Amino acid sequence: MRFDVGLMLSWIPAALSGLWVTVGVWLTGGIGALLLGLAVAIIRRFGGRILDRGLWACVAVIRDTPFLIQLFLLYYGGPFVGLDLDPYAAGLLGIILYGGAYICEIIGAGFDAVPRGHQEAALCIGLTRLQMVRRILLPEMTLLVLPPVVNMQIILLKETAVLSIVTVPELTMTLTSLGSEHFAFAEALSLLALGYWGLVELASLLGRLAERGFSRYRLAT
């Protein structure tokens, strides 16, 4: 038995179609997670104590259980409570909930990290509270959370591999099934690793470019 590079190369077209599904799920799921995380963080900060506590509990449950189990529950457990989702929908919802829980915590910490004095300065200038939030708090928070949010998006990209267990035909599903078919797991998993490596490097590069673009606005000391 030897490592069959030719076989590996012959899988590239199939791998690419899986790759597109991965990228598609990641982009929609990642953006969805960002929006959900932002919305939950804002509600928790400005929506009063009861909402804050309730949402805190939801976030805790999601953060304290493995993504694999959450996805299983969504897909196989959903129908018991009338939530009958196709694999894509279950996978996407899973990514959005999982990512949203973490991003909400990141953004919450970002709000806390905006110096109080910057907000006081805005009020002293005469800005209303809403103007202060829109013009000072949100932009400064965005600058602060950019690196950890990029990091979270990269984690989400890799977590999309878990979607293979609910039969979403993304990169992992495509290549592991090809591997089983040809009984060539080393080839399949190598190509799989290469695929994720390339994607993550590309995503990191984009993240670094974004951070560099914002570096002029860093907090002055």
Partner 1 sequence: MNEVAIRLAGVGKSFGTQHVLTNIDLVVRAGEVTCLLGPSGSGKSTLLRCMAFLEEHTTGIIEVAGAPLGFALTPDGGRRRLPDGDIVKVRQNIGMVFQQFNLWPHMTALGNVAEGLRMVRRLGRKDAEARALLQLDKVGLSHRAGHYPSELSGGQQQRVAIARALAMDPKIMLFDEPTSSLDPELTGEVLNVMRDLAADGMTMVVVTHEIGFAATVAQNIVFLDHGKIALEGPAQTIFRRPWHPRLGQFLETYLDRGAAVLVRDT
Q: Which residues of this protein are in contact with partner 1, per CB under 8 A?
A: 115, 117-118, 120-129, 131, 135-136, 139-140, 143, 216-220
Smallest distance from partner 1 to CB 132, Å: 9
Rounded Cα distance between 221 and 115, Å, is: 12
Phi, psi of 128 (to 5 degrees): -75, 170
Contact by Cβ (8 Å): 106, 144: no
CB 47, min distance to partner 1, A: 18
Is the Cβ of residue 6 or residue 117 nearer to partner 1 in the bound state? Answer: 117
Query: Minimal CA–CA distance to 44: which of 113, 107, 90?
Result: 107
In Å, what is the CA distance from 2 to each residue of 6, 183, 193? 11, 12, 19
Place of tokens 């104590």: 49
Nearer to partner 1, 14 or 143 (CB): 143
- Shortest CB 220 distance to partner 1, Å: 4
Q: How far is the CB of 103 from partner 1 (least distance, A)?
A: 20
- State which residue, 6 or 221, has the beta carbon closest to partner 1: 221
Cβ proximity to partner 1: between 63 and 218 the closer is 218
Q: Which residues contact 153 (CB under 8 A, 6 or more apart)?
A: 26, 30, 34, 99, 203, 207
